[in-house]
Structure 1
């Protein structure tokens, strides 16, 4: 179970990051459910990308690993939600 905990933290913080980005960008918001879904995808991608370039967690659950998972997931979730929201807004024009 301990090896999955960083991923779970990244997914949850991605959902939070997606909803925060949606609340800050009212015109590009997808609604709470889809902001969460986009954020979860972004959280997983953000954490994976950070791990690949050596900035993410190595599976350790010390304080720096937890903070890294939260930051990577939150930022990734916000970025993916913003990108999807901007694309959706452009398609509706």
Structure 2
């Protein structure tokens, strides 16, 4: 099943710079693993904001919840919007469900 996910981040105002740098490194490494596993399909940054949109794959909403809440930056994610996606009859892209 595919999901369109919007994640907004808000770093703590007085966050230790070393902690922030570590979380960013861990987030990128974790994302690379999720890509290999087929969960993270596409990712776009929203210019000038700490926000992204992504296409994610999971067997169901519960698995997606576990994936997203397992991200290293999850404690700083202040707004997450999930849209489950269904195939459309005229979608030109091959389905990878």
Per the TM superposition, whether the score is higher than 0.5 is no
TM-score normalized with structure 2 length: 0.33
The structure in which a higher percent of residues are strand is 2
The structure in which a higher percent of residues are helix is 1
TM-score normalized with structure 1 length: 0.34
